Structures are given as C-alpha cells and as structure tokens.
Amino acid sequence: MIALAIGDIVGRPGRRVLSSLLPEVVREFGVDFVVANAENSAGGVGITPEIGAEILGKGVDILTMGNHAWGKKDAYEYLDAEPRVVRPANYPEGAPGRGFSVVRSRSGLPVGVLNLGGRVFFATDLDCPFRTASKAVDEMRTATRIILVDFHAEATSEKIALGYHLDGRASAVFGTHTHVQTSDARVLPGGTAYITDLGMTGPVDSVIGIRKEIVLERFLTQLPSRFEVASGPACLSGALFDIDEATGRARSARAVQVTE
C-alpha cells in the first residue's frame, strides 16, 4: 500500500492547498491511506470540530496533533469523541483524546497511527516517548502490521533516535513540528520508513507559516507580538511510503512537495 503523510497544515492557506492538491497527489501516486498533522489548522494554533470535519472530508483518513492540540477550548470534547484524531500519546493520564487509533484504508486495510510528543528543547513534562511508543506499538500490532508514527518534536537527534528505536516494529516514523522539510527520507535497516520532518502544508512566503514581517519584528525587538498566518501561494508537503501489506515493512520512502 502507498501511505501519504502530510506535514503540519497551517491555517486557511494550508486547508485550501490541501483541498486543491490532495486529489491530484492521491491519483498520481495511487495513495491508499492519508494521515495529516492538523495541530496548526485553526488560525495557526489548534483545531476545532468544524475544521477537523472539513479536513477529514477532503480525503484525509486520520489527523495527528502536537503541542497545540489544546489551542482551542472546544477541541477537548472533540478529541474525546473523534477516533480519527489522535494527540500525543505521552501526555499524562487524564488528558482529553487518545494517543493512537486503528482505522481502515481506502482498500479496507487496518492501519495503526500513533502520535508522540518530543521532550528535548520542547515539552519536558511529557512521559518518555520511547517507552510510550514501545507500549503503543505492541498493542496496535495485535490488530495490524501497518503502523505509522508521527513524532511531533523539535530536536532532530530525538526524532532520528526514535526511528531506530522503532525500526522493524513500525512501518514508518515521520517527524512534524519544525515546518521545514528534511532531505533524509529513507528506509532504515529493519524495514521502517523514516524522515526527520515532513515540512509544512501552508503559505510559502512566510516564516514557518507566519507573516514574515511579524516574525522579523519580534527577532529585531524581542518584544511580544501576535502571530498571524501569512497569505499567498501555499504548498503541500509530506512523504510517500510504499509498505508491504503482508509484513508491514516499508519498500521505499520519498519526500513530496507540491506548490499551487
């Protein structure tokens, strides 16, 4: 099967480019399953039930989140209610939502999707992502051999380490959060597809999706400012993974980026 993982959808421009370009990408590459990170989909911070339904209605099979999962208050009940949205599994017990879920691909295959949050330079109060990943993958493997892992983290070293930690146990491990696509898509020795960051699905003429003037002013003055999602042309960024349905091991991994 061909799985497409889409990098952080940023605001209205990200949702627009997803709607316009996803059908073409699915047709061109014969995609059977789509996972997308939506933690920036509502005005750049968080998700709402309406926006979640909008994205899922555009051909995305499941949404992952990150540190902005809690950005909109009405997302709390939505995360509990919608099994096609997962937030980092290593948040403390009692946090709304679920950290992983098994859903069906277009051809009816069960696919497990796990979301994790990093700790290095990021969220040190989270549970260990490595131990959480091992436990979650073991549980999902009772239902499916195909397991995709979104590691929402800052440090490249932590992401690469998790890839090797899950090599041979997960079908693909991909990083999100930095909004900059990396050039290291590959299959690890044990058969796990890997890329350090999928990149951003959002406005090209920006600083990681935010109006560049605002970010420049903040760097120059060190004064607080309200971030606003940039406008203009946008791109869809992510990665394609060819996965053996019988074994769950990846045959290939490649980055993809399409600009409208």
Q: What is the pLDDT of residues 220-239, one digit of tens each?
A: 999 988 899 999 999 999 99
Identify whether the C-beta of residue 222 lies closer than 8 Å to the C-beta of residue 202. Answer: no
Q: How far is CA 176 from CA 54, 60, 81, 150, in A?
A: 21, 17, 24, 7
68 is catalytic: yes
- Among candidate residues 68, 152, 177, 179, the one labeled active-site is 68
Res 123: pLDDT: 78
Res 257: pLDDT: 97
State mean pLDDT over 136-145.
97
How confident is the prediction for the chain on average, in pLDDT?
A: 96
Q: pLDDT-based confidence at 28, cuts 50/70/90?
A: very high
CATH code: domain of residue 117 = 3.60.21.10
Residue 133 falls inside a structural domain: yes
Residue 244 falls inside a structural domain: yes
Split into its structural domains, the chain has a count of 1
Nearest Cα residue to 154 out of 115, 126, 98, 196: 196
Burial tier of 189 (Cβ tally within 10 Å: 0-12, 13-18, 19+): exposed
Residue 112 falls inside a structural domain: yes
Helix (H), strand (E), coil (C) string for 30-77: CCCEEEEECCCCCCCCCCCHHHHHHHHCCCCCEEECCCCCCCCCCHHH
Burial tier of 155 (Cβ tally within 10 Å: 0-12, 13-18, 19+): middle
Q: What is the pLDDT of residues 33-56, one digit of tens each?
A: 999 999 999 999 999 999 999 999
Residue 250 falls inside a structural domain: yes
Residue 88 falls inside a structural domain: yes
Range of the domain at 64: 2-204+233-259
Nearest Cα residue to 232 out of 256, 203, 253: 203
How does DSSP classify residue 92? P
Whether 18 shows a pLDDT value over 90: the answer reads yes
Res 177: pLDDT: 97
